[in-house]
Structure 1
């Protein structure tokens, strides 16, 4: 089983921006909103009507993009999926989290909140420190037996900064030609 760190194809699709950050902060509280990436249980009862859009943020003039991907990342640890992608992924992902409604550029999308948290092999994983302050991870490894059937997961080791997946998840994305994600076998935060 191969493992991958997931990233968004931001060079092609830009950045996804939520237009209702105040409502999200109000629903979860400012402190909890900042920690929302670590949540491992349902948040659907607090989830407000949410919407956003894709913007090209690399020039001096940000512009809304009309081409949007099938699957993307929101806050690096939530999947944002189109209706098409949800139909493909739902049978596999339902046991690992929940789909929350989200409108993107006027289209029906969903935010997939991942519940699965896997801790790495401590003998093969190392945190980067800069003057004693957390600066990322230099190596990350998971034992296959701790992953089990989880095809998509996050970890507290990197302070819930990335999503990771198995080759099964990657294969499903690629075989269904779902656009928007990159997969790297380098699990460190150096890339």
Structure 2
């Protein structure tokens, strides 16, 4: 089964004027900010600290130009912002692999998606890259086909925590339903 890395797509960036510091202030302050900063490394659930009423705003461009909000966009590198439309189409994929946390963007209900699922890398086809005998990253990345067939969206322990990957089924559903926002790249290790 084919695998893709999620990219920012046509947006080239997120659409929210909102960062993890602002989120932390709404969820409890400095202690929460430390938790959110470490979360990509710990892969901890955010649900236990989540509060109702998290609000944020779009970047001024979206309001000034009347650009509609995307159905799915990257946020913070390792999370996604999901519209209600995208949730109705792909909600099962998100619930199976992570958690959907309600947020409001300009009075529009949306969700912050936190992926908590890792896929198994193919040990034969995933190789390290070295410079002067020191591991500096990955030269190749591949996943076990049987594992990713069951995981529509996932992360890789070997590739780091700022990339999200999807299987072909996810991409097909996304495209068949004309969802907007993110893009998909078959070069799994290309720069984001």
TM-score band, normalised by shorter chain: 0.7 to 0.9
2:5 maps to which residue?
Answer: 5
1:65 maps to which residue?
Answer: 62
Alpha-carbon distance, 1:163 to partner: 0.4
2:187 maps to which residue?
Answer: 186
Which whole-Å deviations, capped at 9, do the CAs of 1:2-55 have from their partners, x for residues lacking one?
A: 100001125466543326234257386343211222454542220134233333
Mapped contact 1:28–1:46 kept (Cα < 8 A): no
For structure 1, which segment, 89-98 or 148-157, has the greater mean C-alpha deviation from structure 2 after superposition?
89-98
Mapped contact 1:136–1:189 kept (Cα < 8 A): no
For structure 1, which segment, 66-75 or 46-55, has the greater mean C-alpha deviation from structure 2 after superposition?
46-55
Mapped contact 2:81–2:112 kept (Cα < 8 A): yes
Gaps of 5+ in 1: 56-62
- Evaluate the alpha carbon distance shift between residue 145 and residue 25 of structure 1 in structure 2; reply closer, same or farther with a 3 A threshold: farther
Q: Residues 1-191 of structure 1 correspond to what in structure 2 (within 5 A)?
A: 1-9=1-9, 11=11, 14-18=14-18, 20-23=22-25, 24=27, 26=29, 29-38=32-41, 40=43, 42-48=45-51, 49-55=53-59, 63-66=60-63, 67=67, 68-128=69-129, 136-190=137-191
Partner-residue secondary structure (3-state), 2:49: coil
TM-score after normalising by structure 1: 0.80
How far apart, in 1, do the equivalents of 2:76 and 2:190 lie?
Answer: 15
TM-score after normalising by structure 2: 0.80
CA RMSD of aligned residues (A): 2.8
Mapped contact 1:124–1:141 kept (Cα < 8 A): yes
- Evaluate the alpha carbon distance shift between residue 83 and residue 137 of structure 1 in structure 2; reply closer, same or farther with a 3 A threshold: same
Mapped contact 2:24–2:36 kept (Cα < 8 A): no
Mapped contact 1:27–1:47 kept (Cα < 8 A): no
For structure 1, which segment, 123-132 or 104-113, has the greater mean C-alpha deviation from structure 2 after superposition?
123-132
Mapped contact 2:102–2:112 kept (Cα < 8 A): yes
For structure 1, which segment, 15-24 or 130-139, has the greater mean C-alpha deviation from structure 2 after superposition?
130-139
Gaps of 5+ in 2: none
Q: How many residues align?
A: 184
Return the structure number with greater helix share: 2
How far apart, in 2, do the equivalents of 1:47 and 1:132 lie?
Answer: 43
Alpha-carbon distance, 1:96 to partner: 1.5
For structure 1, which segment, 22-31 or 120-129, has the greater mean C-alpha deviation from structure 2 after superposition?
22-31
- Evaluate the alpha carbon distance shift between residue 114 and residue 22 of structure 1 in structure 2; reply closer, same or farther with a 3 A threshold: closer
Mapped contact 2:13–2:74 kept (Cα < 8 A): no
